[in-house]
Amino acid sequence: AAGVIQSPRHLIKEKRETATLKCYPIPRHDTVYWYQQGPGQDPQFLISFYEKMQSDKGSIPDRFSAQQFSDYHSELNMSSLELGDSALYFCASSSRDRGQYEQYFGPGTRLTVT
Amino acid sequence: AQKVTQAQTEISVVEKEDVTLDCVYETRDTTYYLFWYKQPPSGELVFLIRRNSFDEQNEISGRYSWNFQKSTSSFNFTITASQVVDSAVYFCALSDTVAGANNLFFGTGTRLTVIP
């Protein structure tokens, strides 16, 4: 079965640079979530989109923005990167319209800021 | 506010032993969902189970079983006859249905090591 696709899988950036992470949800899933997992930490919710509209916002820094496109893929844009942004970034998708609330996670993008 | 507590930070068991991972949650919502995810060393998050607040029936799936007790706000996870491949970090998570948003609140995870 198709899973959530994230790209790139690994990314190395320098401080103050920008980064864009991409997420392709499972086909027919209408909701996308972004999570950040720091080293040794639990995943923290950043932001979610339902039918291309922002659905909920968590602990996402103002330097970050995200959107969901017409084909349901989502991008997380990160600017003025800081060392503390080094983390594993997960995208997850679910099908809210079908009452399927379980979120299926992608493999994650490991961002390293040097 | 939602909160998930996994008091066991790390557990080590010898292969073939049974092990129970504890999860206690807090929420003011009457409708909510509870989840368990597995994060093996490779890093991905693998969905294991979802349980809604109206369904207290315990569930068994192979060597995995879950015990949901609303009275004690607990959703414990038992692995029977553990195997080395079960070594991973296990996260319990809670999702509410406020405003239709279903973002997950994770516990801090329990690192399970199964020793051969």
Q: What is the pLDDT along chain A (114 residues), one digit of tens a residue?
A: 789 999 999 999 999 999 999 999 999 898 999 999 999 999 999 999 998 999 889 989 999 999 999 999 999 999 999 999 999 999 999 987 777 678 899 999 999 999
Q: What is the pLDDT along chain B (116 residues), one digit of tens a residue?
A: 789 999 999 999 999 999 999 999 999 888 888 999 999 999 999 999 988 888 888 888 899 999 999 999 999 999 999 999 999 999 999 987 654 457 899 999 999 999 99
Select from B27, B96, B18 the least CA-distant residue to A101.
B96
Q: Which residues of B touch A42 (CB under 8 A)?
A: 91, 106-109
Report the pLDDT value the prediction gives residue A43, as an integer from 0 to 100: 95
* Rama region for A84: left / alpha / beta (φ>0; ψ in -120 to 50; rest): alpha
Report the pLDDT value the prediction gives residue B52, as an integer from 0 to 100: 86
Mean pLDDT of chain A: 93
Q: How many CA atoms lie within 13 A of A47 on its CB side?
A: 18
Q: What percent of chain A has pLDDT over 90?
A: 81
Q: Which residues, other chains included, contact B110 with Cβ-Cβ below 8 Å and sequence gap of 6+?
A: B6, B8, B9, B10, B11, B21, B22, B89, B90
pLDDT digits (tens, 9 = 90+) for A88-103: 999 999 987 777 678 8
- Cβ of A88 within 8 Å of Cβ of B43? The answer is yes
- Cβ of B106 within 8 Å of Cβ of A42? The answer is yes
Report the pLDDT value the prediction gives residue B31, as an integer from 0 to 100: 86
